[in-house]
Structure 1
Amino acid sequence: MATVNEQLQSASIGHAVDLQHLSNAEVRKIMALLNRADEDLRARLLAAVERMGPNRFTVTYMNTVLESVRELNKQVYTQAGEAMKEAVDELAAYEIGYQQALFTATLPAQVLVAVPLARIDLAQVQKIASGRPFQGKLLGEWMADLEVGRAARIRDVIRIGMVSGQTTDQIVRGIMGIKSEGYADGLLNRSRNDIDAMVRTAISHTAQGARDAFYQANNDLISEVVWLSTLDGRTSAPCRLRDGLHYTTDTHEPVGHKVPWLAGPGRIHWRCRSSSTPVIKAWEELGLSKSDIPEGTRASMDGQVPESTSYGDWIKGQSAARQDQVLGPARGKLMREGGLSLDKFYNDQGRTLTLDQLRERDATAFSRAGL
C-alpha cells in the first residue's frame, strides 16, 4: 500500500499535468479575443496608412491617424485583462478546494481528528494572484505593458514602411502576417507569443501561491515541501537542478542543500511547469500514540519521502485512458505498444514533434503500435 506521502506526490504530479491543460485552454481563450479583432484591426490599419500617404507622412500626423488603431488595441487588451483576472480568481478558489479535498481524502481520519485542516481565506490567495509580482511585475502591469508594446511595434513598422517606400499592402502584411503562413511571419505573432508566456506563467503563479498558502496554514501537519519538476525534453536547467529538493514550509529555506528557492516552482522562469508536494510528518511527530491509530495507518504515516518520480515514470504508471488524455491517443499508444519513451516525443530544443516527424524518425514504433 502506498504511503500518504507517496499518494500525495503522485496526485501532485497528476494535478500539475491538469494545470497544463488549463493553461492551454486559457491561452486559447485569450488568443480568440485577439483573433476576433484581427479583421477590424486590418481594416483600420489599411485606412490609416492610406490616409497618411508617402507625401503627407509625419510622425505627428501618423499619431493622429493611428488613434483608432490604438483605441482598438487598448480595447482588446482590456478585455484580455478582465478575462485573465477572472481566470486567476477562479483558479485560486479551485486550488484551495482541491488541496482541501486532497488532504481530506488522503490523510487518515484519525490524523485529521487530532490535527484538523486549517481553511484558507480565498481573498488572501486572490490577493497573491493579482497583488504579488511574477517575473518582476503584477498581472495588471503585464497586461498594460503588452498593450503598449504591441501599439509601439505597430507604429514602428509603419514608420519604417513609410520611409522605405513600401506600399500600403506591404506595410499591413508585415504587421498582420500572411494567412498561408499561419500569420507566423507577421509582427502580431510576437504579441501572441508574449500573451502565451504571460498567461501560462500567471496560471502557474496563482496555483503555486494557493499551494504555498495552504501548506503554510497547515504547517503543524507538514514538515517540508518538495520541489517537483516536469522532467521531459522541455525542462529548464533551473528546474532540473531543483527537482526533488526539500525546503522549509514557511520561509522556503533549503533543507540539506544550498540551492535557493528563488521565486519558487511555477514562477522561477516564464512558462515554468514545476510544482510542489508536501511531506506529511510521521505519526509520532504529530503527537499520536499507537493506541490512537491502527497499525496499517501507522505504516502509511511513516513520514518517509518517496524517491523523486520523473514525469516520464509517472505517465508510464497511469491508466491507458489517462495516458491518452495527457499525450493524445496516438502518442499514448506509441508509448504503450510502440516502445517510445516520453523524451522521444520532443526534439533537442524541447519542441513537440508532429506525428509525421515521429514516423520519419521511428517508423518501426508506428508499426509495433499498429498506427
Structure 2
Amino acid sequence: MAKPQSAADLRKQIAEHQANLVRLGEAWGQQVVDALDDADRATIARLKSMLDDLSYRRNTAEGAEQLEAIRKKLEQIRLKAYRKAERKLREEASGLMANEVKWARRILLAFLGYRFLRGKTATPRSTSTDDAELADTWITEYATARIPDASSISAPASRKSGKSSSFDAETIFPEKIPDAISAAEQKRIVRNAVIQDKSWAGWWTHTADADVQRIAETVNQGINEGWSIDQITARVMGTRAGEFADGTLSTNRARVRNMARTICSGIANEAKDAFYRENSDVCIGVEWLDTLDGRTCRHCASLSRKRWKTDEPHPVPPVHPNCRCVLLPVTPVSDSADEQRPAAKADFMAEARRAYEKKHPGKKWEELAESTRKKYYYDAIHDYEKRTGGPAFELVSGGMSFKEYFETVMTEQQRKDWLGPERYKLYRKGLKFDDFISPWPLPGMTVKQLKALDLESFEK
C-alpha cells in the first residue's frame, strides 16, 4: 500500500499543476497561431493582388471606399481562421473544465483532512490526531487561520495553528462530493463568465477585430505615404533580416498567444471556483494564493492570502496576462497544521534583465521572446546559487502573505526591483507597503469626493 502523501507533496502538486496550466495555455496559443499561418499567406497574397489593381486617390470618398474594400477582404480571410481555431479550443475547454473540477475535488478533500493512497483510496483524518502526525498528513499549509465556522472566514493578520472543535471529518465521505459541475455551469462559464474584462466570445471578437485593424492601419499608412507594394507587404509580414518579428503579423501572433493563455487560465479557474461554490456545504470559502517572488504584480500582492465566503463576490484568476495565482478552498480544518512554502531570495527576473542588458547593450529586454526571457530567468537562478553557495529559495511560513514577505524577507535590492526606482524613493521616504497597492474591491467615488481630493492635492 502506498504511503499517504504529505503537505509538502500537496504544495508541490499545486505548483506543478499551475505550471502545467501555463504550458497548456502556450499550446492553445500555438494552435491559434497554426490556424493563422495559412491565413497569413492568404492575407499577403490577396493584399499584393489588391494593391496591384489599386488606383488610389488620396483624401477622396472614392479612396476611402477603396481602403474599406481592402479591409473587408482581409477581414474575411482573418475571421475564417479565427472561427476555425475558436471551434477547436471550445471543444478542448470542455475537457479542461472536467479535469479542473476533478483536480479541485482532490484538493478540497485534502483540505478536509483526507489522506490519499494512489489517488484512489481516501481515509478521513481524525480531529484528535496530534500535531506531530498532522505535519505528515496531506493538509494544506496555505491557509492562514483556524476557521471553526463560516462566520470567521476573514483571514487575520497573523497565522494561528490549532484544531477545529466544530468539525468532524468522519461525517464527510468522498463519494458524497461530486467530481463534476453541472452542465448549466459549464455552459455559463464558456458563454458568460468574465475572464479579466471579457467573456470567451468577447476575447475572440476583440482579438480578431484588433488583428484586422492593425493590418488595415499599416496598409492605409503605406498607401497614403506612397510606399511601394513590397514596402507595404514587408511592413505587414516583417523582414527576413528581422526574422519576421518586426511585422504587424508578428504583433498579432503575440496578442493571440496572450489571449490563449488568458482564456485557458480563466476557464480552468472559473471551473474550480464553480466547483467550490456548488460544494459550499463543506467548502466554506476560498483563499487567494500568490507566489512569493519579484514577478508577482502589485495587484496580486494586494490580494495575497485574502479570503471570501464562497457565496460572496470575489476575484477569480487570472487578473492579468500570465497570472500565476490560484484560489484554494477553505474548510473547517484548513488550518490544523503549519507548513512552509518557498520564497525567492532575489528578484531573478530583474537579475536576468540586468544580465541581458549588460551582455547586449542597446538591445531591449521587452523585445525578447517569452521563451528567451525564461531562459535568462533560470540562468539567473543558477548563477545566484553558484555565486552564494546557497539555495535560491528559502522556506517560510506557509501562511505568509506577500506583504509579510516584502517587509521581512525581501532584501533592499529586491524591494527596489519590485517597486521600481521612483516608488522605491517614496518607500525610503516613509511610505509603507499598503501605499503602493490598491484595495480590493476598489472603493466607489462621487464627484464631491473627487473634487475634495483634487483640492487637497493642489494644496500640498
The TM-score, its normalising length taken from structure 2, stands at 0.59
Q: 2:190 and 2:245 mapped to 1: Cα distance? A: 31
- For 2:224, the equivalent position in structure 1 comes to 163
Runs of 4+ off more than 6 Å: 1-6, 348-351
**1:118 and 2:177 equivalent?**
yes
Q: 2:88 and 2:254 mapped to 1: Cα distance? A: 18
Find the residue that maps to 1:40 and give its secondary structure. Answer: helix
Aligned CA distance change for structure 1 residues 354 and 53 (closer, same or farther; 3 Å): farther
Per-residue CA deviations over 1:274-331 (Å, capped at 9, x if unaligned) read 112223323xxxxxxxxxxxxxxxxxxx743645734759xxxxxxxxxxxxxxxxxx
**1:182 and 2:184 equivalent?**
no
The TM-score, its normalising length taken from structure 1, stands at 0.71
Aligned CA distance change for structure 1 residues 280 and 12 (closer, same or farther; 3 Å): farther
Q: Which runs of structure 2 are paired with 1:181-330 in the superposition (5 Å)?
A: 181-251=242-312, 261=314, 263-266=315-318, 268-282=319-333, 303-304=335-336, 306=338, 309-310=341-342
CA contact (8 A) 1:41 1:69 kept: yes
Q: 1:234 and 1:36 mapped to 2: Cα distance? A: 36
CA contact (8 A) 1:5 1:279 kept: no
Find the residue that maps to 1:38 and give its secondary structure. Answer: helix
Find the residue that maps to 2:85 and give its secondary structure. Answer: helix
Q: Which runs of structure 2 are paired with 1:11-160 in the superposition (5 Å)?
A: 11-54=13-56, 58-103=63-108, 107-108=114-115, 109-110=123-124, 114-116=171-173, 117-119=176-178, 120-160=181-221
CA contact (8 A) 1:95 1:210 kept: yes
Identity value in percent: 23
CA contact (8 A) 2:294 2:347 kept: no
Q: 2:16 and 2:114 mapped to 1: Cα distance? A: 18
CA contact (8 A) 2:290 2:324 kept: yes
Q: 2:353 and 2:70 mapped to 1: Cα distance? A: 46
Find the residue that maps to 2:210 and give its secondary structure. Answer: helix
Q: 1:308 and 1:48 mapped to 2: Cα distance? A: 63
How far 1:234 sits from its partner (Å)?
A: 2.6
Q: 2:89 and 2:12 mapped to 1: Cα distance? A: 29
- For 1:337, the equivalent position in structure 2 comes to none
Q: 1:207 and 1:24 mapped to 2: Cα distance? A: 14
Letter paired with 1:61? Q
CA contact (8 A) 1:52 1:62 kept: no
CA contact (8 A) 1:183 1:189 kept: yes
Letter paired with 1:273? R
Q: 2:215 and 2:241 mapped to 1: Cα distance? A: 21
- Which residue among 344, 347, 350 is the counterpart of 2:353? 347
RMSD of the TM alignment (CA)? 3.7
CA contact (8 A) 2:56 2:66 kept: no
Q: 2:344 and 2:183 mapped to 1: Cα distance? A: 34
Q: 1:28 and 1:152 mapped to 2: Cα distance? A: 22
Aligned CA distance change for structure 1 residues 192 and 18 (closer, same or farther; 3 Å): same
Q: 1:356 and 1:180 mapped to 2: Cα distance? A: 27
CA contact (8 A) 1:30 1:83 kept: no
Q: 1:346 and 1:62 mapped to 2: Cα distance? A: 45
Find the residue that maps to 2:287 and give its secondary structure. Answer: strand
CA contact (8 A) 1:52 1:65 kept: no
Q: 1:35 and 1:238 mapped to 2: Cα distance? A: 35
Find the residue that maps to 1:78 and give its secondary structure. Answer: helix
How far 1:167 sits from its partner (Å)?
A: 0.3
Per-residue CA deviations over 1:170-220 (Å, capped at 9, x if unaligned) read 111111111332322111222222222221111111111111112122223
Number of aligned residue pairs: 313
Find the residue that maps to 1:204 and give its secondary structure. Answer: helix
CA contact (8 A) 1:232 1:343 kept: no
Name stretches of at least 5 consecutive residues in structure 1 with no aligned partner: 253-260, 283-301, 314-339
Letter paired with 1:279? V
How far 1:99 sits from its partner (Å)?
A: 2.3
CA contact (8 A) 1:134 1:202 kept: yes
